[in-house]
Amino acid sequence: MKVKKYTASTMPEAMKVVRSELGQSAVILNSREQKNKRLLRFV
């Protein structure tokens, strides 16, 4: 299993990036909103 961190403005944008890099079976294990930058961070 590969674990990587990504930041994106929206969940659909994040899924697009994650699936393009890791394949169609990739899933987001955890997400949180960064208050200071208003971006979502995905682990």
pLDDT (tens digit, 9 = 90+) per residue, 16-30?
A: 999 999 899 988 888
Evaluate whether 41 touches 31 at the Cβ level (below 8 Å): yes
Q: What pTM does this model have?
A: 0.64
**Beta carbons of 40 and 6 less than 8 angstroms apart:** no
User: With 80 as the cut, is the pLDDT of residue 5 above it?
Assistant: yes
pLDDT of residue 20: 94
Helices (H), the chain: 11-22
